[in-house]
Amino acid sequence: MESNDVHADLKHVLKSKDEIQNRIAELAAEIDRDYEGRDLLIVGVLKGAVMVMADLARALHSHVTMDWMAVSSYGSGTQSSGVVRILKDLDSDLMGKHVLIVEDIIDSGLTLSWLKTNLESRGTASVEICTAFRKPDAAKVAIDVKYVGFDIPNEFVVGYGLDYAEKYRNLDFVGTLAPHVYE
Ligand code: IMP
Ligand code: MG
């Protein structure tokens, strides 16, 4: 879906399709360079990271393998608690692997902080993080993120994988919702 398709639901477009695609290409070039000569496994966190995984993987000029995890953060309502449960684990053995976790957005950072430690405990050669979006003002834990698409303000956004009540994931841009949608 494009911005015209959901015009009535939008407050504003935060990052357009072109801005996102250009930035993903830049990140892919950095990743190609940084992992030159090494085997890389990219791990997408379901469901939000589907779009960024698909675009990032196709923008790379190197071979990578791809795997997926699904996790849920226990907590009240929309607040992440940092207590994480694995809903779907990786199919791959991580022993000796260079792993890049690919995420849609880092909000408090609690989920990813837990996930990074979990994957590192499996004997990886390295674990780094790539996220399409990050909200620096929402951070509750310090977390080292090697590749960041965009730092954005601390407000709720949808699109490009990000949902509100499971909707809006299939927007090709990222935007904020008009208050009438969630009030
Ligand atoms: P946290 O970093 O542990 O707080 O949780 C990050 C997760 O919360 C992301 O992977 C998203 O699934 C979800 N999330 C955080 N901020 C937003 C947002 O603005 N829109 C949609 N989902 C969000
Ligand atoms: Mg997510």
pLDDT tens per residue across span 95-132? 999 999 999 999 999 999 999 999 999 999 999 999 99
- Please say if the pLDDT value at position 79 is more than 70: no
pLDDT tier at 75, thresholds 50, 70, 90: low
Among the listed residues 9, 55, 104, 107, the single catalytic one is: 107
Give the number of the atom of ligand 1 that is nearest the alpha carbon of residue 158. Answer: 20
* Distance from Cα 107 to the centre of ligand 2, integer Å: 9
Gap from CA of 8 to ligand 2 centroid (Å): 25
Per-residue pLDDT tens over the stretch 134-151? 998 988 899 999 999 999
13-72 pLDDT, tens digit per residue, is 999 999 999 999 999 999 999 999 999 999 999 999 999 999 999 999 999 999 999 998
pLDDT band at residue 83 under the 50/70/90 scheme: confident
Instruction: Give the chain as a 3 state SS string.
Output: CCHHHHHHHEEEEEECHHHHHHHHHHHHHHHHHHCCCCCEEEEEEECCCHHHHHHHHHHCCCCCEEEEEEEEEECCCCCCCCEEEEEECCCCCCCCCEEEEEEEEECCCHHHHHHHHHHHCCCCCEEEEEEEEECHHHCCCCCCCCEEEEECCCCCCEECCECECCECCCCCCEEEECHHHHC
Q: So what's the pLDDT on residue 73?
A: 77
Ligand 1 binding pocket includes 106 (Cβ within 6 Å): yes
Q: Looking at residues 161-169, what average pLDDT do you find?
A: 96
